[in-house]
């Protein structure tokens, strides 16, 4: 079992920035493809971004392209989601997720991710 811990959420004004962090408990994160998803009240879980095990490959949801950046620091065993130019519609609970260890293909589908963090709230005020 992989336990993922997110941090960095909070309240920010529209146009502002936040950086979310995700780290696994007792695991080598570079063995896992990692994704970020979000879920707003009354809406389905939405794909935000994903990153390959090496960090060389990334993919983004259409609604965040050009504003959000996913990255990983292998030495620190962390994955980050830098969120810039935030909009009120970005308000949601953000979840970090990972695929099964050693799977290499990045994915935008939440059902392909086996491990999930508890989520961190991001609220963007207008």
For the segment 47-57, what is each residue's pLDDT rounded down to a tens digit? 999 999 999 99
Q: How crowded is residue 104: how many other Cβ atoms within 10 Å of its Cβ? A: 11
- Is pLDDT of 17 > 90? yes
Q: Return the structure tokens found at 41.
A: 């009240």
Per the document, the length of the chain is 126
- Cβ pair 75, 84 in contact under 8 A: no
- Token look-up 């695991």 returns 27
How far is the C-alpha of 115 from the C-alpha of 14, rounded, in Å? 31
pLDDT at 16: 98
How far is the C-alpha of 102 from the C-alpha of 96, rounded, in Å? 17
pLDDT at 1: 82
pLDDT at 115: 96
How far is the C-alpha of 126 from the C-alpha of 68, rounded, in Å? 19
For the segment 103-124, what is each residue's pLDDT rounded down to a tens digit? 999 999 999 999 999 999 999 9
How far is the C-alpha of 9 from the C-alpha of 92, rounded, in Å? 10
Q: Which of 57, 59, 71 is nearest to 104 (CA)?
A: 57
pLDDT at 26: 85
How far is the C-alpha of 108 from the C-alpha of 119, rounded, in Å? 18
Q: Which of 36, 15, 123, 110 is nearest to 79 (CA)?
A: 36
What is the overall mean pLDDT for the chain? 96
Who has greater pLDDT, 25 or 53? 53
Average pLDDT over residues 75-90: 97
């Amino acid at each position: 079992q992989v336990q993922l811990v997110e941090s960095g959420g909070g309240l920010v004004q529209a146009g502002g920035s936040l950086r979310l962090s995700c780290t696994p408990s007792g695991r080598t994160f570079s063995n896992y493809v990692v994704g970020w998803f979000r879920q707003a009240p009354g809406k389905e879980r939405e794909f935000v971004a994903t990153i390959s095990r090496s960090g060389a490959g990334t993919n983004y949801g259409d609604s965040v392209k050009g504003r959000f950046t996913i990255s990983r620091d292998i030495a620190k065993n962390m994955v980050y989601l830098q969120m810039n130019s935030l909009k009120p519609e970005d308000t949601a609970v953000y979840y970090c997720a990972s695929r099964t260890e050693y799977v290499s293909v990045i994915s935008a589908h939440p059902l392909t991710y086996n491990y999930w963090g508890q989520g961190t709230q991001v609220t963007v005020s207008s």
